[in-house]
Structure 1
Amino acid sequence: MADIKTASVLAFERKLDPSDALFFSGFWSDRRETINWKPLTVREKAIRGTISNRMKTKDTDPAKLDAAIENPNLQRVDVATLPNDADTLKVNFTLRIIGGAGEPSSCNDAAYRNRLSQIVKSYAAETGFAELSMRYAVNIANGRFLWRNRLGAESIEVIVRHKDGDNYREWLFDAFSFTLQSFTIPEQSKSNLSALSHAIEAGLSGDKYTLLDVTAFVRIGKGQEVYPSQELILDRGSSGKGQKSKTLYSIADQAAMHSQKIGNAIRTIDDWYQDEDAIGPIAVEPYGSVTSMGKAFRQPKQKKDFYTLLDSWVTRDKAPESDGDRHFVMATLVRGGVFGESGKE
Structure 2
Amino acid sequence: MASASKASSKNDYKASVLAFERKLDPSDALLACGQWSQRDQSGAWSDIPVREKAVRGTISNRLKAGEQDPAKLDAKIDNPNLQTVDVATLPDGVDTLKVRFSLKVLGGAGTPSACNNPKHQQSLVSLVENYIDEHGFEELAHRYACNLANGRFLWRNRMKAEDLEIRVSLLEHGETTQTWIFDALEFALNDFAVPEHAAGGVTEIASVIREALKGERHALLVVEGFARIGGGQEVYPSQELVTLGGSNTKGEKSKTLYSVKGTAGIHSQKIGNAIRTIDTWYPQALSSADVGPIAVEPYGAVTTRGTAYRPPKKDDFYTLYDGWVGEGKIPALDQQHFVMATLIRGGVFGEAQDKEKGE
Fold agreement, TM-score > 0.5? yes
Would the alpha carbon gap of residues 284 and 237 (structure 1) be closer, same or farther in structure 2, given more than 3 Å must change? Answer: closer
Structure 2: segments with no counterpart, 5+ residues: 1-5
The alignment's C-alpha RMSD in Å is: 2.0
Contact kept? 1:6, 1:315, Cα under 8 Å = yes
Deviations 1:251-296 (Å, cap 9, x if unpaired)?
A: 0100000000000000000001112315110000000000011111
Q: State the distance in 2 between where 1:238 and 1:57 align.
A: 18
Q: State the distance in 1 between where 2:17 and 2:57 align.
A: 51
**1:143 is aligned to 2:151:** yes
**1:63 is aligned to 2:71:** yes
Q: State the distance in 2 between where 1:344 and 1:216 align.
A: 50
Deviations 1:194-218 (Å, cap 9, x if unpaired)?
A: 1111011111012543100000000
> Paired residue for 2:24?
16
Contact kept? 1:236, 1:243, Cα under 8 Å = no
Mapping of residues 90-129 of structure 1, within 5 Å: 90-129=98-137
**1:329 is aligned to 2:339:** yes
Whichever residue aligns with residue 286 of structure 1, its letter is: P
Contact kept? 2:242, 2:254, Cα under 8 Å = no
1:300 is displaced (CA, Å) by 2.3
Alignment match of 1:316 (pick from 299, 304, 327)? 327
Q: State the distance in 2 between where 1:194 and 1:236 align.
A: 45
What TM-score do the two structures reach when normalised by structure 1?
Answer: 0.95
Whichever residue aligns with residue 40 of structure 2, its letter is: R
> Paired residue for 2:38?
30
Deviations 1:7-39 (Å, cap 9, x if unpaired)?
A: 110000000000000000000000111010000
Give 3-state SS (helix, strand or coil) of 2:179's partner. Answer: strand
Whichever residue aligns with residue 332 of structure 1, its letter is: T
Alignment match of 1:284 (pick from 296, 302, 307)? 296
> Paired residue for 1:156?
164
Whichever residue aligns with residue 95 of structure 1, its letter is: L
Would the alpha carbon gap of residues 264 and 238 (structure 1) be closer, same or farther in structure 2, given more than 3 Å must change? Answer: closer
Contact kept? 2:169, 2:176, Cα under 8 Å = no
Alignment match of 2:210 (pick from 201, 204, 211)? 201
Runs of 4+ in 1 over 4 A off after TM superposition: 164-167, 235-239
> Paired residue for 1:262?
271
Contact kept? 1:100, 1:207, Cα under 8 Å = no
1:62 is displaced (CA, Å) by 4.5
Contact kept? 2:242, 2:248, Cα under 8 Å = no
Would the alpha carbon gap of residues 209 and 280 (structure 1) be closer, same or farther in structure 2, given more than 3 Å must change? Answer: same
Deviations 1:232-253 (Å, cap 9, x if unpaired)?
A: 1236999711100100000010
Aligned length: 343
What TM-score do the two structures reach when normalised by structure 2?
Answer: 0.91
Q: State the distance in 1 between where 2:192 and 2:88 align.
A: 32
Whichever residue aligns with residue 306 of structure 1, its letter is: F
1:69 is displaced (CA, Å) by 2.7
Structure 1: segments with no counterpart, 5+ residues: none
Alignment match of 1:298 (pick from 310, 316, 333)? 310
Contact kept? 1:81, 1:223, Cα under 8 Å = yes
